[in-house]
Chains A and B, each alone.
Chain A
């Protein structure tokens, strides 16, 4: 085994100090992704800082139906929490469509945000990957890219973010509350948390090394009656999305007052379709409008050699998810 130190500090403050002091240190909580990465030799930390016992597992109301979900609450507990089931059924649906019950029982919310791409080149030490080894090249761009991005990719990386939960959080205008290395707190819009690969694909997100996610806060909304998460995959369960769509609508007398649309499986980060959102806001909730919105959402797509199907599939998925959310 590659030797590493294992530390279990008393609280968040000590944990942040430990990780910040060592660029090869990693937080570990559920470990459902990090352990895999270590076994494969993709990530090689020399120090693991166990935060699984830090008390950041609360799910609490922020007033209205806003909610704060602790970074260390388990995915399963989050999906099934009454505040989430009642206030954000979209999030429940998204979480439960990911992974398997066993994994969701272990995985934490913060870890879900931090999970890394499942691009097969990233996982295979025998192939080039700029995300794993900057400067080595991108195997997928001109190789096997059926699962790769159609939005926001760069010459150095075409990987997609694998999470389902994050697609819903992007649609729900969540913010991420972070403990900084200096000891303070800062907040980041969820849509600004993950980043596009650009020429630094080794960075998945905009956290600084040592910063720790404390909670994910979701503001009150009125999407409860009209939301839907649609995931399309190669088998019924336990597979990453080819394309997924999170939709939240606020509908008043058949007119869409407020819309959120986010896509998964298409980019290095959960992909908000803001133009399509603006397009349907103020319009009647009907299939024709949704179809137009779906086409609009994919207008800027740039498919690769093997993933052209994602454009049409994503359009259909958006149109269906909107119809389902609106019950039309």
Chain B
């Protein structure tokens, strides 16, 4: 299996040189292979979200290299980072981060608005994804009328609209009960079977005990503590 994401000695400092300087992660080097399901585990404040946003080209590292599909993105300007993000990643956030007061389908289509894909084509895509995730009956509902589980499924649908290779999920089950978490994890499993690489940051044991997860990377205080390979076949 080839490596899709690689970080080399990545350090991220927020507000460097200021009184409120925060060293979020230090000297992190990890590799993620294509088609893998990886969990970043650790308590809150351990730097998993920062690492996730570094991998996902949302922020740039203060030092070190981040290589996505063989390309170093660490020094890339925002314009190009966004381009890579649009092509490569789908994001599922902890707080669903859906835009209230617009319809579910619009929310799902939104990532592709600033592209040259025709609106009708995006709509078709969104409909088929919603079908798969079982929320097509909620298509024209406003977001605030959805239940928590439905909102998270809508958020996953949105992350799939750009047909990404990699899905990055930040605490996807934090606001869901066990039943719904179960359901969401089944969705992730199915996506993985379809060939998507999935990286989940969580401190929920329910997730990293799942069978289909191949690796867990444990983080603490901004450094990688331990990497556990669960996939015994390899």
Are A and B co-members of a single complex?
no
Binding site for A on B (CB under 8 A): none
